[in-house]
Structure 1
Amino acid sequence: MRVYTTIQGQTWDQIAYEVYGNEYMCDKIMDLNRDKLDTFIFPAGVKLMLPDEENIIRQSVPSDYPTWRTMLNAKG
Structure 2
Amino acid sequence: MDNYEVYTTVDKDTFDIIALDYYLDEFKAHLIIQANPQYASVITFKGGIELKIPIIEEDKPSTLPPWKR
TM-score computed with the length of structure 1 as normaliser: 0.71
CA shift at 1:13, angstroms? 0.3
Structure 1's unaligned 5+ residue stretches are 58-69
CA shift at 1:38, angstroms? 1.6
Structure 2's unaligned 5+ residue stretches are 62-69
CA shift at 1:44, angstroms? 0.3
CA shift at 1:34, angstroms? 0.2
* Matched residue, 1:60: none
Of residues 16, 20, 23, the one that matches 1:17 is 20
**CA distance, structure 1, for counterparts of residue 56 and residue 34 of structure 2:** 15
RCO higher in structure (CA 8 A, sep ≥6): 2
* Matched residue, 2:66: none
Please list the CA deviations of residues 13-55 of structure 1 after superposition, one character each: whole Å capped at 9, or x if unmatched: 010001110000100000000001121100001100011132x
Paired residues, number: 58
Q: Percent identity over the alignment?
A: 29
**CA distance, structure 2, for counterparts of residue 15 and residue 40 of structure 1:** 12
Runs of at least 4 residues off by over 3 Å = none
TM-score computed with the length of structure 2 as normaliser: 0.78
- Over alpha carbons, which structure has the higher Rg? 2
**CA distance, structure 2, for counterparts of residue 28 and residue 49 of structure 1:** 10
How is 1:17-56 mapped onto 2 (pairs within 5 angstroms)? 17-54=20-57
